[in-house]
Amino acid sequence: MKITKVEPIWLRVKKFNEPCEWGEDAFILKIHTDTGLFGVGESDSAPAVLKAMFIQPSTHGSCMSLSEVLLGQDPRNISKIMDDLFEASAYYGRRGALIHALSAIDIALHDLVGKIYGVSVATLLGGARRDYLNAYATFIPDRNIEITAKRALELKNEGFKLLKFGGDGFGAKAQFDIDTTRAIRKAIGDDIKLSIDLVGLWKNYGYAKERFKDFVEFNLEWIEEPVPSENMDCYARLSENLPCKITGGEALATEYEFDEFCKKSRVAIVQPDLTRCGGFITMKKIENIAINNGCELVPHGFSTQILLHATAQFLASSKTCNLIEYSKSTSSLFNICNPLPCEDGVVKISDCVGLGITLNEEIIKKYEIKF
Ligand SMILES: [Mg+2]
């Protein structure tokens, strides 16, 4: 059994001037075999940069095209292939975008091997330990506070028990941030958990500590990425001194970065993203790192339905985690495959083959940018 073709696909919405809340682009990967079966992966990164890593000509043994490393390999040897790729890209890789690309490969290989053996990815990861996940909804606040409050109420009425919002500058304007949060809290009442995502905009320890005072009244479940993830000392001081969970880590890649982050930042919740951290194999290692450092693991996920399905498969097999981030993106790329059903804030884990996804080829045809 051999890998015969690798298809890196760059999708982009904005060329059609469509209104879009996040999710303007996507990187999808198909890995084909001589059996006729293929696997699908995704990375939430810079798609054109990732595509270049697959189609570039190889220079030498440590600067190879990712496609060239994959072609001819037996797809069932996932760990061996992932090690080969890490070594063959060492000149331009080891962290960042290269690990994002490897994440897409790892996900596609797991989907493919699941199809080869007729089992779910959760089974490949050691077996499903639960049949449902609790879901929390993430959304980006509008500039119009009334629209934001209405959106939050709709999500509550859909059955979500925890909402998170952030992005599009939230965190940078003190009065707007307080007014937005107050309007949301008023709309949803006190019986729903609420978290904010600051995307690093609270700058430093002193500023963050001061700004937090305004949010005490809203009884927040967690504060996500108050400062950039490099500032681990700041995370540690905030984690020790604020009476609220501090979370972060969505931008990090490899088990090495997560090991350092969990040890130094002392966050309550670490949030690796399957499409960036390195894929399923790395995510399993990060789960152990989190357990050993007393962190809860709640994966990040705000891309397409492929990531939602992949995260659900990981969480089904997880020893300790059962909370999935259920993004409420309005992007035309979001439903690139069959949606992961979520009812009343709960995602049921059903037995499936691979990731359990079928791609919508029409979306690919409409939005693919070729080069
Ligand atoms: Mg975030």
Q: Report CA(197)–ligand 1 centroid distance (Å).
A: 5
Q: Report CA(199)–ligand 1 centroid distance (Å).
A: 6
Closest CA to 56 of 120, 11, 118, 101: 101
Q: Report CA(191)–ligand 1 centroid distance (Å).
A: 23
| Total count of domains within the chain | 2
Edge-to-edge strand list for the sheet holding 25-33: 3-12, 25-33, 38-43
Task: Answer whether residue 354 is part of any domain.
Answer: no
Q: Are residues 173 and 301 in the same domain?
A: yes
Task: Answer whether residue 201 is part of any domain.
Answer: yes
Closest CA to 31 of 2, 64, 61: 2
- Measured N-to-C along each axis, helices 78-88 and 96-117 cross at an angle, to the nearest 10 degrees, of 160
> HSE of 222 in the Cβ direction (CA atoms, 13 Å)?
20
Question: In terms of pTM, does the model score above 0.85?
Answer: yes
Q: Which run of H or of E encompasses 180?
A: helix 174-188
Here the CATH number for the domain that contains residue 263 is 3.20.20.120
Here the CATH number for the domain that contains residue 41 is 3.30.390.10
Q: Are residues 221 and 317 in the same domain?
A: yes
Report the phi/psi class of residue 170: left, alpha or beta, with left for phi > 0 and alpha for psi in -120 to 50.
beta
Q: Report CA(290)–ligand 1 centroid distance (Å).
A: 18
Task: Answer whether residue 95 is part of any domain.
Answer: yes
Q: Which run of H or of E encompasses 8?
A: strand 3-12
Q: Report CA(37)–ligand 1 centroid distance (Å).
A: 35
Helix, strand, coil content of the chain in percent (nearest 5): 40, 20, 40
Q: Report CA(89)–ligand 1 centroid distance (Å).
A: 28
Q: Report CA(346)–ligand 1 centroid distance (Å).
A: 21
Q: Report CA(300)–ligand 1 centroid distance (Å).
A: 7
Q: What's the confidence (pLDDT) of residue 23?
A: 82
Task: Answer whether residue 112 is part of any domain.
Answer: yes
Q: Are residues 27 and 166 in the same domain?
A: no
On the 0-12 / 13-18 / 19+ scale of CB atoms within 10 A, 346 is middle
Task: Answer whether residue 355 is part of any domain.
Answer: no
Name the 3-class secondary structure at 217. Answer: helix
Backbone angles phi, psi at 317, to 5 degrees: -95, -5
Q: What's the confidence (pLDDT) of residue 18?
A: 66
Q: Report CA(84)–ligand 1 centroid distance (Å).
A: 31
Q: Are residues 62 and 205 in the same domain?
A: no
Q: Are residues 85 and 209 in the same domain?
A: no
In one-letter notation, the amino acid at residue 291 is: I
Q: Report CA(251)–ligand 1 centroid distance (Å).
A: 9
Task: Answer whether residue 251 is part of any domain.
Answer: yes
Q: Are residues 97 and 141 in the same domain?
A: no
Task: Give the end-to-end CA distance of the chain in Å, rounded to a whole number.
Answer: 29
The DSSP call for residue 44 is -
Q: What is d(CA 222, CA 128) in angstroms, rounded to the nearest whole number?
A: 28
Q: Report CA(325)–ligand 1 centroid distance (Å).
A: 10
Q: What's the confidence (pLDDT) of residue 15?
A: 64
Q: Are residues 142 and 114 in the same domain?
A: no
Q: Report CA(77)–ligand 1 centroid distance (Å).
A: 33
Q: Report CA(250)–ligand 1 centroid distance (Å).
A: 6
Q: Are residues 148 and 105 in the same domain?
A: no
Q: Are residues 145 and 285 in the same domain?
A: yes
Q: Report CA(164)–ligand 1 centroid distance (Å).
A: 9
Task: Answer whether residue 184 is part of any domain.
Answer: yes
Q: What's the confidence (pLDDT) of residue 118?
A: 98
Closest CA to 187 of 152, 159, 142: 152
Q: Are residues 109 and 145 in the same domain?
A: no
Q: Report CA(283)–ligand 1 centroid distance (Å).
A: 17
The DSSP call for residue 142 is P
Q: Are residues 47 and 185 in the same domain?
A: no
Q: Report CA(59)–ligand 1 centroid distance (Å).
A: 37
Q: Are residues 191 and 77 in the same domain?
A: no
The whole domain housing 89 covers 3-119+360-367
Task: Answer whether residue 289 is part of any domain.
Answer: yes
Residues of the chain with pLDDT under 50: none
